[in-house]
Structure 1
Amino acid sequence: MTWTITKLARTAELATLLTFGFIMAGFFPVSLSLIVLIVILNDLVTLTLGTDRAGASTSPERWDMPRLARTAAIFTVGWAAVGLGLLAYYLGVQNLAPAQISSLMFAYLIYSAMATILMTRSRNVFWRSAPSRWVGSVVAGNIILTTLLVLLGVLTAPVPRSSLLLVAVVTIVVTLILDAIKVHVYRRVTDQADFS
């Protein structure tokens, strides 16, 4: 279930940001080489999901694809809207160069993808369930590697620490908001199922 929701959400988020970002900016907001790196880092986490601690359901899971798509849409719409807002800020307020925008959007996409992995592991608030050692290590490793690449300008254009800090803070705040929405939606679905 985690893999399906995160795969739907991350793919749709990336496609939305690239499409609408190109329309807004006149260039792709993430360079091709960084898109390849995003795919690799996301796949590393995906490979570890089979090792994750998962609570057993009291009844067999039903593969309700419309419900899974709605859940993925929460993350897609939230992350894509914030990503486009950051892009507009970089273009209109900060007047950053395309290469710097690409670096920051790369960081945003990795941070948001790692947050989505953590949030989709549980129907409850994400911090109540610790990931397995492998999942936690790869998530932390991806965040650290991305941060270092962007700050040092390795494979990316270097950006000011304050700009990267803004991306990290925005990601944390949005994670808390999206997680609260996710919990509310799951509780509403459970309540409706109890009354059916």
Structure 2
Amino acid sequence: MSFQQGLSGLNAASRNLDVIGNNIANVGTVGFKSSTTLFADVYANSLAGAGSDRVGIGVAVAGVMQNFTQGNITTTSNPLDIAINGNGFFRLSQDGAIVYSRNGQFRLDADGYIVNASGARLTGIQAVNGQLAGSETELRIAFDGAGQPQATTEANVVANLDAEAEAVTVTPFNPQDPRTYTYSASLACYGAEGRRYT
């Protein structure tokens, strides 16, 4: 019997290490909620009833509970990243099903819908002229032609050149040959299709 008690303890500890390993593996996952293993003592019982001197015969994992305590909120450079301070989930629509998440990293897809990394669309009540109207729907930001690409037509460069630099003797200028210039700097330009060139 003592062998069975020790074995039950090892099995429960192994399951607990699995939970701890999952928590550690997801420490950098946005919106992840850690878990805690719940243990229970196992007692023998008979149909005739048990006396007051019952002794535990082992341990079992009663369950794994998810912790919903508030995590750290950090700022990002993405204006669509959202955080929930307190209770609640983001309601998302994915392939016709409603799913919930605490991960608030969102972006716009090609159609203007606010989506997460897996493409699930954020849902909510759309505002029309500053007023909430209708029922829950997939949230979309209309582009209305804004953000059309515009080609770079001119650039201004302000630079101080080193007066003590040696004169370039190799001509003509070749951007692939550093012997034809003494200094270089990159400049981002955009074509009519919106593509960036450096």
TM-score band by shorter chain is under 0.3
Q: Whose strand proportion is higher, 1 or 2?
A: 2
TM-score of the pair, normalised by structure 2: 0.22
